[in-house]
Amino acid sequence: MPEPITHLDDSAVLQKLKEDKPWLWLNSGLGSEPDTRLSLADIQDAEARLQRFAPLLQTVFPELAASNGLIESELLTAPTMAEHLGQDTNPLRGHLWIKADHDLPVAGSIKARGGIYEVLHFAEALALENGLLKSTDDDYRQLADEKARTLFQQYTLSVGSTGNLGLSIGLISAALGFQACVHMSVEAKQWKKDRLRNNGVTVVEHSNDYSNAVSAGRIDAEQDDYAYFVDDENSEHLFLGYSVAALRLKTQLHEKNITVDSEHPLFVYIPCGVGGAPGGITFGLKQVFGESVHCFFAEPTQAPCMLLGMATEFKDDLTVYDAGLAINTEADGLAVGQASQLVGEIMKPLLSGIFTVEDDQLFRDLYQLKESEGLKIEPSAAAGFSGPRQLCQTDEGQDYINQHDLAGKLDHAVHLVWTTGGCFVPEDEYQAFYQRGQGLA
């Protein structure tokens, strides 16, 4: 493993980030002393809570009838896309699968996991405290009645977001009867703001970046005794909501007769913004599969905030602006200048590495995915497709393979790309993405 880089000044990390080029950074902390603040029992508790709420969710969101109130995505094979990711002289070894969170119901993105879970956690606590639920064995469908809505409408749930988390929080809050306020950063797409407003959610638009939108939302909530702020940078509830995906994935892999063990490694590539979603999923996967799973985050070359944070051990409160970058990316869900230190600390012993992706590559892969598999995603969700390339076609990737004795196991490996958003993108916007990718391809 490379030596950890602990200072930004004159470091290799700083120089690499300034180049604004794709790069795979390997985490030297992998396998170090684990963080013990959360455990598998916490993930199982979160899954049990989601199961309790499933009948209620089926009531307020009829589209969940087929899944009995569970918000889950398909596991899809992608053989034609696998051929695209390989090269004639270096075809992809192993099998390519897609975890299709771009098609998650209700919110249309990975944020439907953590965002909806945190609102449900808060609603359950309120209902128990106020006697609407006598115990967690009660029928949660009663939380859709007028008495519950009268209680919930006294409270405002707020969040700062670049887009998708705001959609998640806003839509579930409004559905349960809460007031909802979403502070949207300058990167947020107009259609996401319009969808929230059409569902009765207050949207506060900011002319600056994600971190400032979060800060503004946090300050507003502190001034209201009936406000609850969903803190994307520091929330363990969000984190655990995402982590439940690992339990669901284990079941899906079993149903498809896919083995994950020391001889059949699982490589997972997840887009990363502030870090909560990929961090929670990685935490869950490592709890379930241990050393047989290898998780990598994907970030834009213009916004590699988690790479910067973990490589410098979150010293000096650095942002990507300190590395000379401007967050000039179309990947709005990943357009973050400073990552969650909470997530970075939990990821230190668990995460294999982080790779960066140029915007043009996002659009090429977005186009190719539609052509090869018929799937429509947004640019942020395409970031993971560069993972197999970085692992199998770069010197850093070969170093990782050799260090972990994986070379002889790749033919039996699964490469899992997590597509994180896109099914609710308006058709005219998607066509613009598609045509840009087609031109680049």
Give the residue extent of every domain in the chain: 12-39+66-107+242-440, 110-236
pLDDT at 6: 37
Contact between 92 and 80 under an 8 Å Cβ cutoff? The reply is no
Is the model's pLDDT at 160 over the cut of 80? yes
Q: Do domains 12-39+66-107+242-440 and 110-236 have the same CATH topology?
A: yes
Q: Which residues does 376 contact at the CB level (< 8 Å), separation at least 6?
A: 102, 370, 422, 423, 425, 430
Cα distance between residue 147 and residue 276, in whole Å: 33
User: Model confidence over 288-313: pLDDT tens digits?
Assistant: 999 999 999 999 999 999 999 999 99
User: Model confidence over 304-354: pLDDT tens digits?
Assistant: 999 999 999 998 888 999 889 999 999 998 999 999 999 999 999 999 999
Q: What is the CATH number of domain 110-236?
A: 3.40.50.1100
The H or E element spanning position 295 is: strand 293-300
pLDDT at 184: 86
User: Model confidence over 109-150: pLDDT tens digits?
Assistant: 999 999 999 999 999 999 999 999 999 999 999 999 999 999
Answer with the residue of higher pLDDT: 315 or 254.
254
Q: Which residues does 163 contact at the CB level (< 8 Å), separation at least 6?
A: 184, 187, 188, 189, 192, 332, 333
Cα distance between residue 392 and residue 87, in whole Å: 10
Average pLDDT over residues 386-400: 95
Average pLDDT over residues 351-370: 98
pLDDT at 216: 82
The domain defined by 12-39+66-107+242-440 folds into Rossmann fold (3.40.50)
Is the model's pLDDT at 5 over the cut of 90? no
Lowest average pLDDT, out of 9-13, 99-103, 277-281, goes to 9-13
User: Model confidence over 399-417: pLDDT tens digits?
Assistant: 999 999 999 999 999 999 9
Average pLDDT over residues 43-64: 97
